[in-house]
Amino acid sequence: MQVALRHPHLTGGEFDLPPTRAAFEDHVASVGLTDGLRFHPGDFFVDPLPSADVLVMGHILHDWSLEEKLMLLRKAHQALPDGGALIVYDSIIDDDRRTNAFGLLISINMLIETQDGFDYSGADCQSWMAEVGFRDSYVERLSVRTQWWSASNEREDC
């Protein structure tokens, strides 16, 4: 929503479980973006992700097991066109697992709150992205507590 507010020429949407539709539409209407944003109902464990030039997974991957993380990244890779991008936004653990106490505490929290969820390092995420077919990725630090990853969907075979 913040991207659409800053760049009104862009269109976008949210892919989420159907019961969240009303909250999404109310919020979109409250900021005047009903023409540019739409709701895509679905379950990312069952349904394909909607096709888009850019997909964002914000605080999604840490909730799930490694197998589920890889499945979601594969689905993102499949939904993106050649040249598309995936942005993963999460609280992360530093690669050396020594300095980001917040990331480590969030990982412990995920182990308490979820069956198999865990936080991960930038290097972990980049290796998973490469495993599912993304060619280029980088880690960008947004604050002391969060980082995001971007991966290009340019495929070797295209």
Rounded Cα–Cα distance for residues 158 and 85 (Å): 15
H/E element, 79 = helix 66-79
**For 89-137, what is each residue's pLDDT tens digit?**
888 888 888 877 777 787 788 888 888 998 899 999 999 999 999 999 9
Residue 152 has pLDDT above 50, yes or no: yes
Per the domain annotation, does 68 fall within a domain? yes
Per the domain annotation, does 158 fall within a domain? no
40 part of the active site: no
The two three-digit tokens of residue 118, written as one number: 């865990």
Pair 6, 67 in one domain: no
What average pLDDT score do residues 72-79 get?
97
Burial 58-92 (b: 16+ CB within 10 A, else e): eeebbbbeeeebbebbebbbebbeeebbbebbbbb
Q: How many domains does the chain have?
A: 2
Band of the pLDDT at 151, cuts 50, 70, 90?
A: low
Q: 139 — phi, psi (to 5°)?
A: -105, 130
Name the active-site residue from 9, 27, 59, 62.
Answer: 62
Q: What is the pTM of this model?
A: 0.83
Per the domain annotation, does 49 fall within a domain? no
Q: Tokens 């979109």 label which residue?
A: 28
Pair 147, 69 in one domain: yes
CA 145 to chain CA centroid, nearest Å: 16
**For 22-68, what is each residue's pLDDT tens digit?**
999 999 999 999 999 999 999 999 999 999 999 999 889 999 999 99
Q: Tokens 């995920």 label which residue?
A: 110
DSSP bridge partners of 88 = 57, 149
Pair 30, 71 in one domain: no
Band of the pLDDT at 156, cuts 50, 70, 90?
A: very low
* Structural domain boundaries enclosing 79: 54-152
- Of the two residues 155 and 18, the one the predictor is more confident about is 18
Pair 18, 76 in one domain: no
